[in-house]
Amino acid sequence: MSSIANIARAPDLTPLVWLEAGQTLLRRGGLRALKLRPLADELGVSTGSFYHHFTDFDAYQGRLADYWAAGQVHELLDAIARAEPDPVGRIRRLAQVVRRRGLSRLSIAMRAWADSDPRAARAVERHDAVMLGFLTDCLIEAGVEQAEAAVRGYALMTLGLAKVHAPHLSPPVLMEALIGILCVPR
């Protein structure tokens, strides 16, 4: 049984629990894995429970895209900003959270979904604007010139989405080296 099902087996599951379960399916198998039956199975409930919160699966998908692009990313970045006063430390912490929560896999799945759904495409645009703004602001605060900060922020964001295999470097070591290169003013 999944970890989500262990946490939320109550008949009164919240919409947020359903959205988180959808993200779990997206991380695991992309858009083709996001279907009502596997979603209900993930939570250990009947498909009828779904309709207490969503009118149909299309409405659910719209909410899922909005949640990823708005509420979730803002909550994450706000928490990081509150917890870490150092701007490079905020970038480092973001990289750690992204890696630990599998957010790169989710982001890649959202981008694939965006190829076929305008709601997902708009969500990706909003998500990227917020994320790039956060990274750029951190870099400016660290002393990087504004125009260069945007380019470096874009590089950091792109590297976070990369599926490059570097057998001689672990992902944490590689990310730390890249943060050292990209987050230091010239």
Residue type, 100: R
CA distance 173 to 179: 10
Comparing C-alpha atoms, which of 118, 100, 98 is closest to residue 108?
98
For the stretch 80-122, pLDDT in tens is 999 999 999 999 999 999 888 888 899 999 999 999 999 999 9
17: left (phi over 0), alpha (psi -120 to 50) or beta: alpha
The tokens of 176 are what? 């730390």
For the stretch 34-58, pLDDT in tens is 999 999 999 999 888 899 899 999 9
Task: Kindly report whether the global pTM for this prediction surpasses the value 0.75.
Answer: yes
pLDDT confidence tier of residue 11, bands split at 50, 70 and 90: low
CA distance 69 to 65: 6
Pinpoint the alpha helices (H) of the chain. 3-7, 15-29, 36-43, 57-69, 71-83, 87-101, 103-114, 118-141, 146-161, 171-182
| Predicted pLDDT at 117 | 95
pLDDT confidence tier of residue 2, bands split at 50, 70 and 90: very low
CA distance 85 to 155: 22
Determine the average pLDDT of the residues in 53-75: 93
CA distance 41 to 38: 5
CA distance 40 to 8: 12
Q: How many CB atoms are closer than 10 A to CB 179? A: 18
pLDDT confidence tier of residue 178, bands split at 50, 70 and 90: confident
CA distances from 12 to 5, 22, 47 (A): 13, 17, 13
Q: What is the mean pLDDT of the chain?
A: 89
Residue type, 78: D
Q: Looking at the predicted structure, is the pLDDT value of residue 171 above 60? A: yes
Q: Looking at the predicted structure, is the pLDDT value of residue 9 above 80? A: no
Residue type, 121: A
